Each structure stands twice: as structure tokens, then as C-alpha cells.
Chain A
Amino acid sequence: MKFLLYLPFFIAFQLLGEWLKSELSLPIPAATLGMFMLLLFLFLIPENKNLTDSAQRLILHLPLFFIPAGVGIMSYTEILKHDSLALSVAVVGSTIVSFILAAWVTQKLVSKELASESESGSSTTQKEVRLK
């Protein structure tokens, strides 16, 4: 039930995002602005277990919240049919290729960084050994 008590907290930041967007007429979505504002706020307060639990419950049900927007595809079947071959190649093919490349490159970059860290780590232990 604590979850329901924390819901207004997130809605308040959502509202702050909407207010910022219209006041500053920014092209960035209101929810993203709200997320960044909440992130800044969270750096000012200590870690709160109830808040973390409530956020996790809300995030767990993201698939439900996508349904209203996702069902919108049904209005665009005509346009989807029109350039269907090019669209399916671009959407299915290029998405999978980009995704594989993104996963592979990021893994290479991250593991390279981890490797160089452990190298520098070993050099500090060597220094310590030398100091002894």
C-alpha cells in the first residue's frame, strides 16, 4: 500500500516536467524533463528504500502503460502497406543489424576499459610492493 502513497511524488515531478516544457517551450518531452528533475532531486536526499520499491513496481508494469500508444498502429495500416518492402527491410533488418553492432561494440569498449583498469590496478600493487 505504501506504493500508492509514493505515486503522487512521481506525478508531482511529471507535472514539473510539463510546466518546464511549456514555460521554456522546449522540444524535449515533458516526462524526460521530469525524469531529469527527479534525478537532480535524488542527489540531494539519502537513498530511500520505500521510494526505490515504489519506482520498481511502477517500472515493472511499463508494458501495460505502452498499450494505449502502441494500439495506435491500427490507424496506419494503409501507410504501412504502401512502402511495405522497403519498410520491412529497414525496420526489421536494419534494427537487428544495428542492435547486434551496438551490443558487440559496447561490450568491446567496456571490456577493454575493464582490462586497462586491471592493468593499472596491477601496476599500483607493483608500486606498493616496491614501497615495501
Chain B
Amino acid sequence: MIKEYVATYPSLLILLTLLIYGIGLALYRWGNKTVFLLPVVSGIAMTIGSLVYFDIDYSHYFDSVKIIHFLLGTATVALAVPLRNNFHLIREHAFPLTISLAIFSVLTPSLAVLSAWIFGAEQGVLLSLAPKSISTPFAIAVAESIGGYPPLVAAIVIITGAIVAIVASTVFKVFSIQHPIAQGFSMGMTGHGIATATAFEMSVTVGTFSALAMGLMGLSTSICLPYLVNWLFL
């Protein structure tokens, strides 16, 4: 019955998503901001749960909540503002950040592909793992150009971002990473937009460096990766 209501009133799904996000935020505050209740993780999980329960398929859901997806682009554009306001910090540390970026735009995809290769994944899966640390639109474009499976890439990218968001504060504590620039830059380099959302909760400086790293990693990986793949597989 609910399925029919949803077909007639697609905005019910917008309401559902907003309610779930509200519940997710409340849970996160109630649980003293434990990482397992991160709003991005609980929001996605609860939405999948409701869609499965009410038997609503994903394409119908996505078409109904396109306005929320549209705002993802708007919020990405808005990331330029903290970048501009903190540009003096970025310029001061241009040298170490460039070196770190150069190392990890090669090391991160290599490590992912190598570990999956040891455990016997087929080539299409290997190629889908390579762009896992860059934001979804970049990753899909790269996967298409090197021969991975775009739907699988989207799933891998989102899970990767969620993992970085979940482990970040523990890793910083255990390995005593106190410098906000190192925290933000590493989160953005490995966990793209999802980790950036969490980084902005830590502080504006951490978030800014995460956003910067996300943008730079997307650019450098989409330039380097096709060459790296040619060299590895041919």
C-alpha cells in the first residue's frame, strides 16, 4: 500500500530521507558522536532498510530525491569558500603537500589493486578498485576510461569514504597525528567527500585541507591512473 502512495506522491521519499537524516543526527548526538553512528553511514543504512522494507526500487527512489542529490553539487561548489578563506595556510605548506600528494596518488591505488590481486580478484574488479579514493564522479569517469565496472566503482568509493570517516579519530589518536593539516590532508586524499564531511565536524581547518586534498587527488589520479594501469597490465 505504501508503495502505491509513494508512486503517486514522490515527495514522500524526500520527506523520508529528511526524517532519516534528522533521526541520524539525533542518534549521533545521543551516542556522544561515536563513529559508528556517523550521519552519513546511518543515513544510507536506514534509507536502504526502509526501501527494502517498503519494496521501493532504487531508480524510483533516486528520481524522487534528485533535488537532494542536486544539492550535493551545490555544497561541493561551496567548498571553494573555506578554501579561499584558508588559502594562506595552503600556500605556506605547498611544498610538503605536493610531495605527499605525489606519493599517495600512486601508492593508494597500487596498494588496493595489489592486495585484491593477491586474493585472486579478476581483472575487471582490480580495475574497479584503482580509483577508490577519489570522489564518485571522478572515479566513474576514470573507471570507464581504464575498463572497470562503473556501478561497482561507485559502491567501492562510498564504502572507502565511510571507512576513512569511521577510523579517522582512532588512527589520529593511536599514531599521534595531531597536526590539523596532516589530519585533513590524509582524510581528503584517502576518503574524498565522505571523509571531508566528517573532517568539517572536527574543525574548519581540518575540513578545508580535506576538501583541498579531495580536489587535488581527483585531478591527479584521473591524469596518472590511466598511465599506471597501462604500465601494470601491458
Within 8 A of B (CB), among A59-88: 59-76, 79-80, 82-83, 85-87
Q: Are A73 and B207 in contact (CB under 8 A)?
A: no
Q: Shortest Cβ distance from A83 into chain B, in angstroms?
A: 5
Q: Indicate if A95 sits at the interface (CB-CB under 8 A).
A: yes
Q: What is the interface size of chain B, counting residues whose CB is below 8 A from a CB of the partner?
A: 107
Chain A, interface size: which category?
Answer: 35 or more
Q: Shortest Cβ distance from A19 into chain B, in angstroms?
A: 13
Q: Shortest Cβ distance from B202 into chain A, in angstroms?
A: 13
Of B52, B74, B97, which one neighbours A106 at CB under 8 angstroms?
B97
Q: Are A69 and B160 in contact (CB under 8 A)?
A: no
Give the docked Cα–Cα distance between A63 and B196 (Å): 10
Q: Shortest Cβ distance from B231 into chain A, in angstroms?
A: 19
Q: Are A62 and B75 in contact (CB under 8 A)?
A: yes
Across-interface contacts of B183 in A (CB, < 8 A): 103
Q: Are B200 and A72 in contact (CB under 8 A)?
A: no
Q: Are A92 and B58 in contact (CB under 8 A)?
A: no
Looking across the interface, which residue of chain B has its beta carbon closest to that of A53? Answer: B81
Q: Indicate if B43 sits at the interface (CB-CB under 8 A).
A: yes
Q: Are B155 and A72 in contact (CB under 8 A)?
A: yes
Q: Are B43 and A39 in contact (CB under 8 A)?
A: no
Q: Are A14 and B74 in contact (CB under 8 A)?
A: yes
Within 8 A of A (CB), among B60-91: 61-62, 65-66, 68-69, 71-85
Q: Which of A80, A91, A112 has the most CB of B within 10 A?
A: A91
- Interfacial residues, chain A to chain B (CB-CB below 8 A): 7, 10-11, 13-14, 17, 27-32, 34-36, 38-39, 42-43, 47, 51-52, 54-56, 58-76, 79-80, 82-83, 85-87, 89-107, 109-113
Question: Given known contacts A64-B21, A91-B159, A103-B186, what 14 new A-B pairs fall within 8 Å (CB)?
Answer: A28-B138, A58-B75, A68-B61, A69-B72, A71-B61, A72-B62, A73-B159, A76-B154, A76-B155, A79-B152, A86-B120, A90-B119, A93-B115, A106-B181
